[in-house]
């Protein structure tokens, strides 16, 4: 069900999108290659994200945010990812996972304490996965033991995005392994809490400027008041937040695919072979037409899921479809963009090589493609004529 198709962006949304596009071209693009090679996100650029309210898009104005919609968060992720998907995922995790978890599950005290920080100067991270808990997220082994007016957390989290830059973490642990998913609880953990530390920083294929680190919890003391939601309700916090986050990853994928396709189109116009532009050859023209159609379809799936979320309609199936298809399309478009550029596309002198590396993660994090297909199949097979 299409709530509001691509062609019906409001004037406010168009202005917002255009402003982010200009910012991305002016401020991020000159730093993209350097950040990728150094595997570090520019700290001054991150400060600018806060300055223009990219890190608190949906946070109400009373807590220093922009008071925008979920759809606007997706637009921001898309536009940033057209230039650098590492920038897109930093903003995505902040808005669709961490901020939304607080907005949906936080107490008044938690919101008033943490949302102003997240909108103004502190980065958030989402620590769920473990070595034995990836797709089976609820097989986690991190333990939370009650100790007076606080909990002691013990365990290790892997693949935590934004970990190096973050000060505030949403951490999932179980209060009792025998309870299964009913023991899982979400905690708001500050980097400064005793017993908290970061371990290995991963060296990755793509989105290299975005930090991905191990989180080590060694008797990490967390106040009882920092339980996010109710004790034992962490699985609900996780499921509902990740359903929203998957739309953000779809936004990242269509953004990077758009960036790669745009470059391939421009190159095909300028590159001469046999005394004419590549774009004059039917083989190239038809490839570009097919890729453009698939990108538009992925964008509509993504926008539709975001619109449905904003108006309070069920969107789990739509989010899974958007993430699945957008990640498929992103990998295909970036791969074919390299082929259109030929040997140049295989070098780091041109950006399509990076787009291709960055695209691969879309099929893996925040629910693999197989998990999205499983979700979609449950919906279509449960429907009766």
Query: What pLDDT digit, counting tens, does each position of 282-338 carry?
Result: 999 999 999 999 999 999 999 999 999 999 999 999 999 999 999 999 999 999 999
Domain segments of the chain as ranges: 6-123, 125-232, 236-382
pTM higher than the cut 0.75: yes
- Nearest Cα neighbor of 209 from 86, 89, 94 is 86
Is 74 in a helix, a strand, or coil?
helix
pLDDT of residue 385: 64
Alpha carbon 61 to its chain centroid, in Å, reads 23
Q: Which residues of the chain fall short of a pLDDT of 70?
A: 1-7, 385
Integer Cα distance of 244 and 130 in angstroms: 21
> Using an 8 Å Cβ cutoff, are 49 and 55 in contact?
yes
pLDDT of residue 161: 97
Q: Residue with structure tokens 């069920």?
A: 314
- Identify the burial level of 323 via C-beta atoms within 10 angstroms of its C-beta, where 0-12 means exposed, 13-18 middle and 19 or more buried: buried
Distances (CA, A) of 69 to 4, 38, 110, 251, 311: 14, 34, 21, 14, 10
pLDDT of residue 282: 94
Alpha carbon 364 to its chain centroid, in Å, reads 12
Q: Which CATH number fits domain 236-382: 1.20.140.10, 1.10.630.10, 1.10.10.10, 3.40.50.300?
A: 1.20.140.10
Phi-psi label, residue 168: left if phi above 0, alpha if psi -120 to 50, beta otherwise: beta
pLDDT of residue 383: 77
Q: Which CATH number fits domain 125-232: 1.10.3720.10, 2.40.110.10, 2.60.120.380, 3.50.50.60?
A: 2.40.110.10
User: Residue 318 is encoded by which pair of tokens?
Assistant: 């739509």
User: Residue 61 is encoded by which pair of tokens?
Assistant: 């104005």
pLDDT of residue 139: 87
Integer Cα distance of 261 and 334 in angstroms: 7
Catalytic residues: 366
Degrees, nearest 5: CA angle 109-191-133: 95
- The β-bridge relationship of strands 166-174 and 123-127 is parallel
pLDDT of residue 153: 98
**pLDDT tens digit string along 6-57?**
557 999 999 999 999 999 999 999 999 999 999 999 999 999 999 999 999 9
For 46, what's the count of Cα atoms within 13 Å in the CB-facing half-sphere? Answer: 21
Distances (CA, A) of 18 to 22, 54, 80: 6, 14, 11
Fold entry, domain 6-123:
Butyryl-Coa Dehydrogenase, subunit A; domain 1 (1.10.540)
- Dihedrals φ, ψ of 77, to 5°? -60, -45
| DSSP H helices in 174-233 | none
pLDDT of residue 5: 52
> Using an 8 Å Cβ cutoff, are 61 and 67 in contact?
yes
pLDDT of residue 2: 46
Run of H or E including 335: helix 316-341
pLDDT of residue 364: 96
């Amino acid at each position: 069900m299409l709530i509001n198709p691509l062609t019906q962006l409001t004037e406010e949304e168009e202005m917002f999108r255009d402003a982010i596009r200009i910012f991305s071209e002016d401020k991020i693009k000159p730093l993209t290659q350097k950040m990728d090679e150094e595997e570090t996100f520019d700290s001054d650029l991150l400060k600018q994200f806060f300055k223009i309210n990219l890190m608190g898009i949906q946070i109400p104005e009373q807590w220093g945010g922009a008071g925008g919609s979920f759809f606007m968060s997706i637009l921001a992720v898309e536009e940033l990812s057209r230039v650098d998907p590492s920038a897109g995922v930093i903003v995505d995790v902040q808005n669709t996972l961490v901020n939304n978890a607080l907005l949906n599950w936080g107490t008044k005290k938690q919101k008033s304490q943490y949302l102003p920080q997240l909108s103004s100067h502190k980065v958030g991270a989402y620590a769920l996965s473990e070595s034995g808990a990836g797709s089976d997220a609820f097989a986690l082994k991190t333990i939370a033991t009650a100790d007076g007016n606080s909990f002691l957390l013990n365990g290790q989290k892997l693949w935590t995005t934004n970990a190096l830059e973050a000060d505030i973490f949403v951490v999932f642990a179980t209060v009792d392994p025998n309870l299964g998913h009913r023991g899982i609880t979400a905690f708001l953990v500050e980097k400064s809490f005793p017993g908290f530390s970061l371990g290995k920083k991963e060296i990755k294929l793509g989105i290299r400027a975005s930090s991905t680190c191990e989180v080590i919890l060694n008797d990490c003391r967390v106040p009882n008041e920092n339980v996010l939601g109710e004790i034992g309700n962490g699985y609900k916090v996780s499921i509902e937040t990740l359903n929203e986050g998957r739309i953000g990853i779809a936004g990242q994928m269509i953004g990077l695919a758009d960036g790669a396709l745009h470059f391939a189109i421009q190159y095909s116009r300028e590159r001469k072979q046999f005394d004419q532009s590549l774009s004059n050859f039917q083989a190239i023209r038809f490839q570009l037409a097919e890729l453009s159609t698939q990108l538009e379809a992925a964008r509509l799936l993504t926008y539709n899921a975001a619109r449905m979320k904003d108006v309070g309609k069920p969107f789990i199936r739509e989010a899974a479809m958007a993430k699945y298809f957008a990640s498929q399309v992103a990998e295909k478009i970036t791969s074919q963009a390299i082929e259109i550029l030929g040997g140049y596309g295989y070098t780091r002198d041109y950006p399509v090589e990076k787009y291709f590396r960055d695209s691969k993660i879309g099929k893996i994090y925040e629910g693999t493609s197989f998990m999205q297909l499983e979700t979609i199949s449950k919906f279509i097979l449960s429907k009766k004529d």
